[in-house]
Structure 1
């Protein structure tokens, strides 16, 4: 069974393995020991912190196989982005150039550089190792964060977003970045992406064009990938869209991948998840549920067969599931059918 839990200092080797396997364009997992160790330490401090409103906390979790102890992937939530380091985006908007006298009416798209998501919560660092990409593992890794949002609302912003990886090839070449590099940056995509991942974002403010960019002036290759996702990211995007997330015209400044967002109150899992009392025992239910305990510092989430008694508001779970979630009879869990 896979169980989601907060990361610990002992998980560093597994996190580095995930960083190495994640490939180009995965900004939040740079292959850098100092950055990864600092991120683990920050997460440990964040989970232990008593907060009344979202701040600079970052909650990094891992998926652990309870039988082997192997780490299958990572997932995370940033409580409020852009407070300590800038969070940049491009916004796609429309400009009309028209002259009634000449009979000319041109509608063009422009990209405007900004920090409009400052203070919002971000879903990030979702990576599932290839050998685990089957069954409900991907859904568990992604949707466990919605159970956390539902149970601990005061720790997060009302708006939650997720940056989707944009189009790039196996060597890490991004058509959108190639145009920016040629005209403004003179460094390759993987280098720029790595600098962003380790927090060295000063070059963005120094070199990024401050005035809006007319999309029709970009190369055809760059125009074609604006708002498009990497082929490996499509399943994650579909899952978020099914939860109510949508793109409101914001894209990544490097690869032009879309940023999707949703009001926490409108996320499907948040809206429809139930809080039930635990009863431990055997049952014959064939229904799969995503379930978490209601602790924060010792958050646990898993997916498995559960019998729910709606009249008594009781969740009958197996001893194995109870051990994974670290709950006992009479405790509360939050769950939703899959």
Structure 2
């Protein structure tokens, strides 16, 4: 049984291994052990804190195999992106160039440096161990964050966003970085990506252009990747579309990866939420579907995937393993959300290979 829970300091060794092996870099997990320890400690403090509005809180989640105790994934939420320093992205604008005398009226796309995403809650640091098969674990790891947000609305902003990995080749070379970033930094993408620490560094504003970059003047290779997710981010991209995220007018300043945004009220984990009473699992002929099931007993958040009947009145018939993972018993109330809302899917598919899920 796989389940999601808050990360803790006792997970430090496993998290350090993820931080050092994940490619591309996970900004939510510093390579330096002391910095990583401080990050995990901040997460523990954030989960415990009484919060009335989002601030500098950081929430780190891990995916654990209950049978072995092994950690197989991680993901996080930044309560307010750029809390201490502005969060930078390129805004895709349309500028009108017109001349009445020449009968010219052209709409030209341009990229303008923006920090309008500063202060909004951000999903970040999504990683799944490559050894896991199928995409069920990735759905659980990614969307458990929205289950937590749905249950703790005061801790987060009404709109949340995520920044996904942009297109790079097999050598990690980004066409957009080569066309834009390298011209200003004179360094490799990977070096600056690590130094940026998640796009919240003042040197970004000091070095990157403050004036618009006209898209038609960029090389064709750079234009083609604007707002496109890398192949390693396609799974994260599809999962967030399932949740209700949509591409926005922003792209990453370094690799032009897509920014996805969602209104929390319209997300699946809020709009399709059902409160159900836990009962012991029993043989049933009722049709079932895969559900995200979350508990929050005494603030100790847990989330699993389980097959439940479609009818809410049937309650949450959970196996003993699921109830143990959620730390619930018969009569407790849990939050349940259908795993799939698009198409006819509903079954948990563990048959296909799952690539390393890094892309936020």
Give the Å deviation of 1:296: 6.5
In the alignment, which residue of structure 2 is the partner of 1:319? Answer: 320
- 1:306 pairs with 2:346: no
Contact 1:35–1:198 (CA under 8 A) maintained in structure 2: no
Counterpart Cα distance in 2 of 1:155 and 1:41: 18
In the alignment, which residue of structure 2 is the partner of 1:156? Answer: 156
- Gap change, CA 1:38 and 1:133, over 3 Å in 2: farther
- Gap change, CA 1:198 and 1:247, over 3 Å in 2: closer
In the alignment, which residue of structure 2 is the partner of 1:127? Answer: 127
Counterpart Cα distance in 1 of 2:210 and 2:218: 16
Greater alpha carbon shift after TM alignment, 211-220 vs 86-95: 211-220
Matched position secondary structure for 1:85: coil
For CA contacts below 8 A with separation 6 or more, give which structure has more relative contact order. 2
In the alignment, which residue of structure 2 is the partner of 1:287? Answer: 289
Counterpart Cα distance in 2 of 1:121 and 1:237: 18
What pairs with 1:99-138 in structure 2 (closer than 5 Å)? Answer: 99-138=99-138
Counterpart Cα distance in 1 of 2:43 and 2:263: 24
Greater alpha carbon shift after TM alignment, 227-236 vs 12-21: 12-21
In the alignment, which residue of structure 1 is the partner of 2:67? Answer: 67
Q: Unpaired segments of 5 or more residues in structure 2?
A: 340-360
Contact 2:28–2:76 (CA under 8 A) maintained in structure 1: no
TM-score by length of 2: 0.88
Counterpart Cα distance in 1 of 2:237 and 2:13: 28
- Superimposed CA distance per residue, residues 6-45 of structure 1 (whole angstroms, 9 cap, x where no aligned partner): 1011212211222233213543344332332221111011
Counterpart Cα distance in 2 of 1:316 and 1:233: 34
Counterpart Cα distance in 2 of 1:176 and 1:47: 38
Greater alpha carbon shift after TM alignment, 324-333 vs 215-224: 215-224
Give the Å deviation of 1:295: 3.4
Counterpart Cα distance in 1 of 2:338 and 2:181: 46
Tell me the C-alpha RMSD between the 2 structures: 1.9
- Gap change, CA 1:191 and 1:35, over 3 Å in 2: same
In the alignment, which residue of structure 1 is the partner of 2:272? Answer: 272
TM-score by length of 1: 0.93
Give the Å deviation of 1:98: 1.4
Counterpart Cα distance in 2 of 1:310 and 1:302: 18
Give the Å deviation of 1:192: 0.4
- Superimposed CA distance per residue, residues 192-234 of structure 1 (whole angstroms, 9 cap, x where no aligned partner): 0010128882321221111111112222222221111101111
Counterpart Cα distance in 2 of 1:169 and 1:26: 18
Matched position secondary structure for 1:134: coil
Contact 1:2–1:66 (CA under 8 A) maintained in structure 2: yes
- Superimposed CA distance per residue, residues 136-191 of structure 1 (whole angstroms, 9 cap, x where no aligned partner): 11111111122112211111100010111101123322111112244211111000
Q: Unpaired segments of 5 or more residues in structure 1?
A: none
Counterpart Cα distance in 1 of 2:235 and 2:139: 10
- 1:48 pairs with 2:69: no
Give the Å deviation of 1:309: 5.5
- Superimposed CA distance per residue, residues 114-148 of structure 1 (whole angstroms, 9 cap, x where no aligned partner): 11012211111111011114151111111112211
Give the Å deviation of 1:303: 0.7
Counterpart Cα distance in 2 of 1:199 and 1:328: 43
In the alignment, which residue of structure 2 is the partner of 1:335? Answer: 336
Give the Å deviation of 1:281: 4.1
What pairs with 1:199-214 in structure 2 (closer than 5 Å)? Answer: 201-214=201-214
- Superimposed CA distance per residue, residues 58-97 of structure 1 (whole angstroms, 9 cap, x where no aligned partner): 1101000000111110011111112112210110010111
Give the Å deviation of 1:307: 4.5
Counterpart Cα distance in 2 of 1:130 and 1:321: 24
- 1:237 pairs with 2:244: no
- Gap change, CA 1:103 and 1:239, over 3 Å in 2: same
